[in-house]
Structure 1
Amino acid sequence: MAADQTQIAVIGGGPGGYVAAFRAADLGLDVTLIDLDENPGGVCLYRGCIPSKALLHVAKLLNETKEAAEWGVTFGEPRIDLDGLRAFKDRVVARMTGGLGQLSKARKVTYVRGRARFTGAQSLKIDLHDGGQQDLSFEQAVLATGSRPVVLPAFDIGSERVMDSTGALELRDVPGRLLVVGGGIIGLELGQVYAALGSQVSVVEMTDGLIPPADRDLVKVLSRRLESQFEGVHLNTKVTAVAENGNALDVSWEPVTGGDGATQTFDRILLSIGRRPNTEDLGLETTRIQLTERGFVSVDAQRRTAEPSIFAIGDVIGSALAHTASHEGIVAAEVMSGERSAFEPNAIPGVVYTDPEIAWCGLTESEAAGRDIKVARFPWAASGRATTLGRSDGLTKLIVDPQTERILGVGIAGPGAGELIAEGVLAVEMAALVQDVALTIHPHPSLSETVMEAAEAYHGLSPHITGPRR
């Protein structure tokens, strides 16, 4: 094909876009992948999932050096080399994104650095990274342009001391006092990183609890640990004003219900209150693509938009998880190649990579309020492996349909919850019964046993806790 034509054009090189491009190429299609970065990876690999997890690994190590005294091992005060820490993070990012660049070449995917916008239902104009423009026609396209952080007017004061998640990951310094605005996943993860590095961290959250999508009993496990790590957590609170004061920021807040407020001074603010889809300046008006009331691109189960030749996946349609976007990319690629495929998962895992981690999938207990369900819980205080790790405050639970004993959801709080939840996802996807998990022999001692023991506890048959027989 000529350079200005392709069968499949993928706009956006994140976990949704590059997976869609790679799967389409594997299925024999000619693919062009368009993104501004040097290699595929998107926000997740360059400015999100991967660098944050590298820093969380370091944060956990720092915390364990302090906790080890309880185990009879005492370390000296760690010396933080910010240049070295940034270099470690950047090496991780370079290795992962560079690997994707090589995989792109191996699949003969044409990679174009630039910003694309539609000029019609089957055409694009690309502003190239190194200058100039390129017109590209396609048979089918995938829109995977992701999202960007939300900025509220009160924080838009032109100060570099107000950071979003991207700025926080740059690790310009370790502020003496850091205010995290937003008690969601990103804010708490990065808050723990900065707390481990030495910052006094406070959190302001407008709702009545941290991590709103997660069940409260799971969040409680994390909250207990944050009490000793953070300077303060202010729920039901909103920021009303931010002003620069020399080399600091004066921040005023008050209860969302009204009442007396307060003003405190911080060295930096991390604003983490959500993300909005990147739908502007894409030429969507030249197509039949439609947006929802919340501004996301509207799609069907195949991830096809109202324009038959164009699909959309990931953050831009409201699927704000990298692994969800990747699976949507696979579906879109398979449909474009002529296969029958649809995005119809029974369970999508959600993971908070704090310490302890929180993970859940399927139906949550909060979502099941008012429904006929039973919950089987296994406290990690009864887990031998958790006790050997000095982390016996965790929890594993199953949400079960009492009529069929089918597992509808799984929730886990504790170290490694993000790894353990995969078994829960499989159980929900396969419509497993409680007995299926209870009869599956798990290794001992292991944290994975807590899933098995929760299943045993459903019938009152766990050997390590007591409960009524069912």
Structure 2
Amino acid sequence: METIKTKVIVVGGGPGGYVAAIRCGQLGFDTVLVEKERLGGTCLIRGCIPSKALIHAAGQFEAIARVAEGGRLGISLASPPQLDFAGTVRWKEGIVNQLNNGIAGLLKRAKVKVVQGWATFSDAKTCRVTGADTDVVITAEHVILANGSVPVELPFLPFGGSVISSTEALSLPELPKSLVVVGGGYIGLELGIAFRKLGSQVAVVEAQQQILPLYDEQLVEPVRRWLKRKNVITHLGAKAVGIDEAGTGLVIETDSRERLTLQADKILVATGRRPAVDGWGLEHMAVAIDGGFVRVDERCATSMKNVWAIGDLVGEPMLAHKASMQGEMVAEIIAGHRRRFDPVAIPAVCFTEPEIVSVETGATTADLQDAIVSTFPFQANGRALSMNGVEDGGFVRVVARKSDHRILRIHAVGPHVSELVGEFTQAIEMGAVLQDIACTIHAHPTLGEAFHEAALKGLGHAIHA
């Protein structure tokens, strides 16, 4: 059996792990990255990237279909578009493959050794990696755990057959005629909306009394309008019970204790994700666990010296960009740099129709109770109107502390607002006040002007509202 001794071993090739490995390589460390499947992890292979590709394709198909239904924007079609869903999936896979190959090239350039296989730790610094063509023991001075997360499986709705997770939903051989989504959070609604645009009949089952329960009602309202307009049935305050006897429908229980059966070709369970802590020897590493997650400090250090953990493994929010930043930071800490993970805000984007963006600081209750809240609607924004993007409403909302006008929160819902999240996050991270945004010239016509107007409105003198 081959034995490898290295400075750093990174377990997991997702957006946290591969970024950590590349940065370690750039810093001159002998680095080994272990990944059982394909480089890129959940985000690239079966999450963020393929889902956004499917969402984009669905949006294009819906736009063409609406034109075919009647003259729109002065454009007409003689017949409705035809969907080759298998072709859409192949196109999506092409994007995934391109990015996967790109990551492999970046790791090679950083002189990172990639070992394909499953790592099982016998102690905190030693693991055995086994795979189809791999059987090697690796020991390291530093270990970076970037094992990621897995979909939550409901005991009464195990994955298999008609019951699928988001992973299977992104690789279906054909478009389901009907789809029931269990879970009205961002994963379920992003995919549910995409499948509705492509032509599937979609129903959503959510245990809370509101879809997207992590967002407030004002942010969710434009999405709710779109769902209603597109005949997506939402069962709120309802719980999935199991599959019916015929195996063709989902039994749910409403908040009035009534039982209904929802017929569906596929049942997508999107009730969240949990850290991937099973099966790789975590129990042999003497690292502390807190609420199912690996416990780390502000440097992502675990309770075991020179063992680090990042990304989904260490807690919410389970977001790729958080993992990447932590991975880069840990590599620099190993190099002796003084770093800690203490962002003012971590942005979140929901790629529904329309999109939702949220950037929030850890503001106190007192700050929020005595705050300036200013909202500017996209209906008054020329770019949004010219994109035909205000059918379901939308706005930018800025929350600032009244005493010094420091911006505490920025929310937006509307067409393509995900592209504004960088400006929003930078404003909060740099401690911007309303006057900073109000005095920044925003190009016309752009969606970003709504942010400018919201800041002006907070100061009491919006121009276009």
TM-score interval, normalised by the smaller of the two chains = over 0.9
User: What corresponds to 2:142 in structure 1?
Assistant: 140
User: What corresponds to 1:328 in structure 2?
Assistant: 326
User: What corresponds to 2:456 in structure 1?
Assistant: 456
The yes-or-no answer on 1:119 pairing with 2:118 is: no
3-state DSSP of counterpart to 1:60: helix
How far is 1:72 from its partner?
2.3
3-state DSSP of counterpart to 1:223: helix
How far is 1:440 from its partner?
0.2
Whether contact under 8 Å (2:3, 2:136) holds in the other structure is no
User: What corresponds to 2:187 in structure 1?
Assistant: 186
Structure 1: state its 5+ residue gaps.
466-470
One-letter identity of the residue aligned with 1:268: K
The yes-or-no answer on 1:130 pairing with 2:132 is: yes
User: What corresponds to 1:317 in structure 2?
Assistant: 314
Range moving further from structure 2, 177-186 or 224-233: 224-233
Taking the aligned partners of 2:270 and 2:42, their CA distance within structure 1 comes to: 15
User: What corresponds to 1:163 in structure 2?
Assistant: 164
Deviations 1:363-411 (A, max 9, x none): 4999889632221100111111111111122110101101110001100
User: What corresponds to 2:154 in structure 1?
Assistant: 152
One-letter identity of the residue aligned with 2:417: A
- C-alpha change, 1:244 and 1:364, in structure 2 (3 Å) is farther
Determine which of 104, 121, 127 is the counterpart of 1:101: 104
One-letter identity of the residue aligned with 1:282: W
Range moving further from structure 2, 326-335 or 7-16: 326-335
User: What corresponds to 1:468 in structure 2?
Assistant: none
User: What corresponds to 2:61 in structure 1?
Assistant: 62
Range moving further from structure 2, 258-267 or 271-280: 258-267
Taking the aligned partners of 2:444 and 2:312, their CA distance within structure 1 comes to: 39
Determine which of 58, 78, 83 is the counterpart of 1:80: 83
Taking the aligned partners of 1:244 and 1:429, their CA distance within structure 2 comes to: 54
- C-alpha change, 1:309 and 1:232, in structure 2 (3 Å) is same
How far is 1:241 from its partner?
2.3
Taking the aligned partners of 2:298 and 2:245, their CA distance within structure 1 comes to: 48
One-letter identity of the residue aligned with 2:170: L
Q: What is the Cα-based RMSD across aligned positions, in Å?
A: 1.8
Taking the aligned partners of 1:197 and 1:67, their CA distance within structure 2 comes to: 12
- C-alpha change, 1:406 and 1:137, in structure 2 (3 Å) is same
User: What corresponds to 2:345 in structure 1?
Assistant: 347
- C-alpha change, 1:74 and 1:363, in structure 2 (3 Å) is farther
How far is 1:309 from its partner?
1.4
- C-alpha change, 1:244 and 1:415, in structure 2 (3 Å) is farther
- C-alpha change, 1:405 and 1:313, in structure 2 (3 Å) is same
One-letter identity of the residue aligned with 2:434: V
How far is 1:215 from its partner?
2.4
One-letter identity of the residue aligned with 2:233: G
Whether contact under 8 Å (2:65, 2:81) holds in the other structure is no
How far is 1:101 from its partner?
0.5
- C-alpha change, 1:339 and 1:322, in structure 2 (3 Å) is same
User: What corresponds to 2:244 in structure 1?
Assistant: 243
One-letter identity of the residue aligned with 1:278: A
How far is 1:218 from its partner?
1.1
Taking the aligned partners of 1:370 and 1:385, their CA distance within structure 2 comes to: 31
Structure 2: state its 5+ residue gaps.
none
- C-alpha change, 1:349 and 1:286, in structure 2 (3 Å) is same
- C-alpha change, 1:340 and 1:429, in structure 2 (3 Å) is same
One-letter identity of the residue aligned with 1:134: V
Deviations 1:444-465 (A, max 9, x none): 1110101101001112211111
How far is 1:90 from its partner?
0.7
- C-alpha change, 1:428 and 1:216, in structure 2 (3 Å) is same
- C-alpha change, 1:342 and 1:169, in structure 2 (3 Å) is same
